[in-house]
Structure 1
Amino acid sequence: MLPGKTQTLQISEKNNSGWILTDESGEKAFLPKIFIHDEKEIGEDVEVFVYQDDHKLKATTEIPLAEVGEFAVMSCVQSLPSGAFMDWGIIKDLFIPYKQQKSKIVEGKRYLVYLYIDESLDLITGTTKFKRNPQYEDLPFKKGDKVDLIMMNESELGWNVVINKKYIGLVYTSDVFKKLYPLSEETGYIKAIREDGKIDVSLQPEGFENIDEFKKKILDKLEENYGLLYLSDKSTPEEIKDELQMSKKNFKKAIGGLYKDKIIDILEDKIRLL
């Protein structure tokens, strides 16, 4: 059985308090009655998340914010000298020992947390200490893939980000076209996977195959402004970034396509809907 993971287990016993679930090896976890919503028979399978409570394995049908090996933004519900308890999205809070806190965790505040198994205690544990911009092997991405991001922090090179809750990458400053905030969620695109195993991410898709997204954004802005937008191919990258949160390169591709489709007219200092 894998503590800290969602898995399919089999009902082996029932009592007034709940169900006893087992895996293929016969290891058991208890599913309390409060999490049983559908009637099932002994021998049937049930998908649950397995966690630890007083060193015993328990199961829940609740969905945690993150599983072991993943990152999530969590709020602190209690801070003690020994450590902090975080709202994990399930009935039991996640414990972060004091030694695993990058800085002292304050009750009521939100933090980016990584979940792992503490090998010395054999317990699911959280930490706010993690390696920045690590190197990876056998990544499940290719260039252009759309991914979910959690913004970590701004650095000299750009923004460190968490990709799909599992990997750390970097968005370079040159690819940032909007105001960003730590712990906010964004959509990103894999820009490059480098030979050293580091991941570069963009906040915008690249290439003509993704130009429809930029066309729509420009059209939406035109409609908001009664068919006129005071930007043109002579506008500065900063002006385009401030107004549309896109690069000048993508802006020029998009308005070129809209002009070719006879949807807009490009004037000296503005574009307008036809």
Structure 2
Amino acid sequence: MNHLLATVITGMVTDENETFYFIQKDGFTFALDKKEGQHKIGDMVKGFVYTDKQQKARLTTVAVETTRTSYGWGLVTDVRRDLGVFLDVGLADKQFLVSLDVLPELKELWPNKGDKLYVHLDVDRKNRIWAVPAGPEVFQKMAGPAYNNMQNQTWPAIVYRLKLTGTFVYLPENNMLGFIHPSERYAEPRLGEVLKARVIGFREVDRTLNLSLKPRSFEMLENDAQMILAYLQSNGGFMTLNDKSSPDDIKATFGISKSQFKKALGGLMKARKIKQDINGTELIEQ
């Protein structure tokens, strides 16, 4: 039976009871739940073969993308530090384990519940079915080329490879690949984590994207700077105040001290959002 498990087969209905049809293939029998549809003895039925939680041989006509020979996405439903992580690949009564042996050595980088892994299935000598994450070559073959016109766009990105050099991700909505350098993140993402990543560059050599998990510079500005930006935007992009203005004028307009005001202006100038002269402060057109 080992060679049939985790594959799609076509077998014959040879028997039934109140709950199941029994499908035979190569001398082995698989139970098909009658809730999936009506059949009669002698019908040929196509379906995915697996063993359920009780290790009973089963066949389902539910479409399953993840097999021995094909990859599909699995949703992490449980994490067992002594075993690995369990994935839902679309079967109502069975989840497949990704062994701890193929997961990162650092358990804090393991997938969490709700994360996603792109896997195929493998079967050991004891007829146990395992989920095996796709390697980088699978993603490289699957993904299409990125384009050099996506700067500052933000997209969902799923982590598929962790390296010291950075994080490799797949953009499911675009079918593209991306890379996040350690300098463009605050902490290392988990394997399978679904991120929101911003495009900051394009690699012509392999047509992939450089991405960042950090906000744009103006998004990191403190509240005082945001208040000044809002004031400028509501006043035609200019104000007579600058870092030489009196503390009283600054306090009257913004309700903050001159030192706070100068710090906020410094951040805005560093982010290239404003410029100053003796007349005041002006927004820089983006």
Larger radius of gyration: 2
TM-score, structure 2 length as denominator? 0.47
TM-score, structure 1 length as denominator? 0.49
